[in-house]
């Protein structure tokens, strides 16, 4: 992980604040002041907004997967959702240009993300929407970026249908195939329960 007091945070950009200000928010989380789900989403929307990933999100992803282990499942899910989005964007090469020092920490964040996402998915109190987001995050952390993007598109389509006419949409579409993480060459890959890659 890039330490939060390192000079690189001065060069990173966010949606509404500077990278340095975002590092201060993360320091607060480490100090134990992790807000509830809604406030946490607002904090993280300052570095990722409207699906646009800023370079500060790439530096924050390893911190978010680490901090997720210290949170209740609801807050951990928010952190993992944002970390997965950043890792997926970094994997495509279409996202923001990032410092080469982030390559190793992003790989470590993906591995930690698999573990933490599995922990959150074990929670019996997750709502269907959060469970689907965590299934999608698991795809990103496992390296299945196309599967991640498809899952997010399905979630967004469901959400748009629900918000425009909540009485007509009562539940999420059929769940995606269960994913198993297959480890090889020190990196995870995903495989559906039917054995397809």
Query: How confident is the prediction along the chain (197 residues), in pLDDT tens digits per residue?
Result: 889 999 888 888 777 788 888 899 899 999 988 888 888 888 888 766 655 667 788 888 999 999 999 989 999 999 999 999 888 888 776 656 667 778 888 899 999 999 999 999 999 888 888 899 999 999 999 999 899 989 988 888 877 766 666 555 445 554 444 444 444 454 444 444 444 54
Domain membership of residue 192 (yes or no) is no
Adjacent-strand bridge partners of 59: none
| Residue-level pLDDT at 193 | 43
d(CA 56, CA 86): 9
In a domain, 142, yes or no: yes
Of 143, 117, 135, which Cα lies nearest the Cα of 177?
135
| Within a domain: 152 | yes
What pLDDT is stored for residue 165 in this prediction? 62
pLDDT of residue 181: 46
pLDDT at 84: 93
Residues in Cβ contact with 145 at an 8 Å cutoff, skipping those fewer than 6 apart: 88, 91, 92, 139
**Average pLDDT value over all residues in the chain:** 79
Give residue for tokens 């920490």: 105
Residue 180 is assigned to a structural domain of this protein: no
Task: Flag whether the pTM goes above 0.85.
Answer: no
Distance from C-alpha of 172 to C-alpha of 25, rounded to nearest angstrom: 33
Q: Please check whether residue 193 lies inside any domain of the structure.
A: no
Q: Does 164 fall in a domain?
A: yes
- The residue segments making up the domain with residue 131 are 8-172
Kindly give the pairing relationship between strand 187-192 and strand 52-53: unpaired
Q: Does residue 51 form part of some domain?
A: yes
What pLDDT sits at residue 172?
A: 52
Domains held by the chain: number: 1
Identify whether 188 is part of a domain: no
pLDDT of residue 180: 47
């Amino acid at each position: 992980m890039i330490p939060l007091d390192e000079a690189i945070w001065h060069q990173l950009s966010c949606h509404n604040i500077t990278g340095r200000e975002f590092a201060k928010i993360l320091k607060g989380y480490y100090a134990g002041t992790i807000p509830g789900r809604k406030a946490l989403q607002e904090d993280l929307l300052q570095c990722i907004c409207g699906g646009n990933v800023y370079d500060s999100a790439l530096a924050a992803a390893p911190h978010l997967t680490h901090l997720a282990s210290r949170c209740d499942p609801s807050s951990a899910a928010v952190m993992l959702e944002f970390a997965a989005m950043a890792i997926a964007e970094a994997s495509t090469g279409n996202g923001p240009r990032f410092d080469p020092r982030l390559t190793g920490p992003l790989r470590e964040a993906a591995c930690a993300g698999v573990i933490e996402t599995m922990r959150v998915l074990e929670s019996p109190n997750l709502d269907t929407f959060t469970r689907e987001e965590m299934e999608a995050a698991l795809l990103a952390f496992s390296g299945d970026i196309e599967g991640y993007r498809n899952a997010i598109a399905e979630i967004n389509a469901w959400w748009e249908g629900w918000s425009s006419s909540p009485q007509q949409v009562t539940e999420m579409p059929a769940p995606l195939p269960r994913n198993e993480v297959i480890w090889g060459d020190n990196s995870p890959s995903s495989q559906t329960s039917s054995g397809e890659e």
